């Protein structure tokens, strides 16, 4: 059996950042990856997708965007190239095509079983991501077989879908982007809308994510948040990384002709039934957006830049029709496809250590799990609000590897 100090599981940006800091600490390790480097970006994204974050924000430890379009948004191919270059520059000890099938605790560390052999190690960093599987609600099981059902993992472009209407369920970044693309392809689209985070693409002539960064919103630590569980479960904001930097919110979609309905509550006798609380849902999203913009305005005054940027602005409230459909017959042919843009969940079926809660998420304190020497990276709001994004991994990985190094030193 092979021995090493640390095993990192996953060679996406999180696992590679962990490898960078492990190397800097002089800790021997291997990075195990079931596919290729940046595998999820290569194989589990639709063709037209771009990052939500502007290129200037794409950074990993010692590795920054160096192109000619800092305010643009990377395509998936560009993201893969960016991460590939980082892996090559850091000479990360990645073993591709190696699937972890079991991780269990031993007296002096961990036993890792893969489809290509076994390893013993003192410590493990789980960087396999939070989006391994689509989170499809149980009501999908009652949808008539005549309606094709897809998740964002299955979807590549409109051309692969049957002709006819599409019901997109979910109004976070994925849902609104797919609804817009499908409508532009000529298909009638209905968007089922639950809780969501509304944001303008630009505010006071600057990217809204510039404001998130500059005003310190993304610096908020996990242990400072009043409701950490809720923060970690929030969907991604309604943003799209388009060259024209336009906002893609519900108003933009209804202006295109997308039909708006409430949250999909159940499917009964071939009909999908929608919640009647849509107006309250969008009003709450509008309220939270205005509070966020107020935070930006207050920071601009305190920091002294208020006179250097455009004046404060506010946006039209989300428009909801006087009446929206509360039911939709799935048997009559109006809807030929349902796209479940209802989020994602991690897959820890290989993890034989009792650190997973009843909903399938890791129990951790800032990436430190309740099993000595076991750590996590790359999860939402792991240590800071920006943990979800590529540029948020550097500080998280440094902190986690610092803790890991201290654990090893204490053990010696």
Q: State the pLDDT confidence band at 412, using cuts at 50, 70 and 90.
A: low
pLDDT score recorded for residue 157: 96
CB-based burial of residue 317 (10 Å sphere; 0-12 exposed, 13-18 middle, 19+ buried)?
middle
pLDDT in tens, 359-382: 899 999 999 999 999 999 999 999
The CA distances from residue 330 to 9, 77, 181, 258, in Å, are 42, 37, 22, 18
Residue 1 has pLDDT above 90, yes or no: no
What is d(CA 232, CA 244) in angstroms, rounded to the nearest whole number?
30
Per-residue pLDDT of 23-64, as tens digits, reads: 999 999 999 999 999 999 999 999 999 999 999 999 999 999
Q: Cβ distance 377 to 367 under 8 Å?
A: yes
Strands (DSSP E) along 357-396, which ranges?
Answer: 364-365, 368-369, 374-376
Per residue in 266-318, pLDDT tens? 999 999 999 999 999 999 999 999 999 999 999 999 999 999 999 999 999 99
Average pLDDT over residues 216-240: 93
CA distance 157 to 178: 9
Checking if the pLDDT of 334 tops 70, the result is: yes
3-state secondary structure of 305: coil
pLDDT bucket at 388, cuts 50 / 70 / 90 = confident
Q: Domains for the chain: give ranges and CATH numbers.
A: 2-132+346-411 (3.50.50.60), 136-340 (no CATH)
pLDDT at site 411: 81
Question: Which H or E run includes 50?
Answer: none
> What is the average per-residue pLDDT within 108-136?
96
Residue 190 has a pLDDT of 98
* In the block, residue with structure tokens 């388009």: 242
Q: Which two tokens stand for residue 340?
A: 């479940």
Report whether pLDDT(328) > 60.
yes
pTM: predicted TM-score of the whole model, two decimal places: 0.95
Please report the sign of the dihedral spanned by the C-alpha atoms of residue 54, residue 56, residue 62, residue 66.
positive
Exposed / middle / buried, residue 92 (Cβ in 10 Å: 0-12, 13-18, 19+):
buried
In the block, which residue shows the tokens 């039909």? 259
Q: What backbone torsions phi and psi does residue 397 show, to the nearest 5 degrees? A: -65, -40
| 147: enclosing H helix or E strand | none
């Amino acid at each position: 059996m092979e021995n090493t100090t640390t095993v990192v599981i996953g060679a996406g940006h999180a696992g590679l950042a962990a490898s960078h800091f492990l190397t800097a600490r002089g800790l021997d390790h291997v990075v195990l990856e079931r596919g290729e480097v940046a595998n999820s970006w290569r194989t589990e994204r639709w063709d037209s997708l771009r990052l939500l974050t502007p290129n200037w924000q794409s950074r990993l430890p010692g590795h920054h965007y160096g192109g000619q379009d800092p305010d643009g948004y990377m395509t998936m191919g560009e993201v893969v190239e960016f991460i590939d270059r980082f892996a090559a520059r850091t000479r990360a000890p990645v073993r591709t095509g190696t699937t972890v099938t079991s991780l269990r605790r031993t007296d002096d560390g961990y036993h890792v079983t893969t489809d290509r052999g076994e390893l013993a190690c003192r410590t493990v960093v789980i960087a396999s991501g939070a989006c391994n599987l689509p989170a499809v609600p149980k009501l999908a099981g009652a949808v008539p077989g005549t309606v094709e059902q897809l998740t964002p993992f299955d979807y590549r472009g409109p051309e692969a879908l049957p002709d006819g209407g599409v019901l997109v369920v979910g109004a976070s970044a994925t849902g609104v982007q797919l609804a817009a693309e499908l409508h532009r392809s000529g298909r009638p689209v209905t968007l089922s809308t639950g809780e969501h985070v509304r944001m303008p693409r630009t505010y006071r002539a600057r990217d809204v994510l510039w404001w998130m960064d500059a005003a310190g919103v993304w610096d908020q630590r996990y242990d400072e948040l009043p409701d950490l569980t809720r923060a970690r479960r929030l969907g991604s904001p309604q943003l799209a990384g388009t060259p024209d930097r336009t906002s893609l919110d519900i108003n933009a979609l209804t202006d295109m002709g997308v039909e708006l309905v409430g949250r999909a509550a159940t499917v009964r006798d071939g009909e999908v039934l929608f919640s009647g609380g849509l107006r309250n849902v969008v009003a709450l999203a509008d309220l939270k957006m205005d509070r966020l913009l107020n935070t930006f305005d207050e920071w601009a005054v305190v920091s002294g830049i208020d006179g250097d940027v455009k004046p404060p602005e506010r946006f039209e409230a989300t428009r909801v029709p006087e009446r929206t459909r509360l039911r939709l017959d799935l048997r009559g042919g109006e809807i030929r496809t349902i796209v479940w843009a209802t989020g994602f969940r991690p897959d820890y079926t290989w993890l034989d250590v009792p650190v997973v809660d009843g909903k399938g998420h890791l129990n951790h304190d800032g990436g430190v799990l309740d099993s000595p020497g076991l750590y996590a990276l790359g999860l939402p709001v792991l240590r800071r609000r920006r943990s979800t994004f590529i540029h948020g991994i550097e500080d998280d990985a440094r902190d986690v590897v610092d803790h890991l190094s201290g654990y090893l030193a204490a053990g010696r």
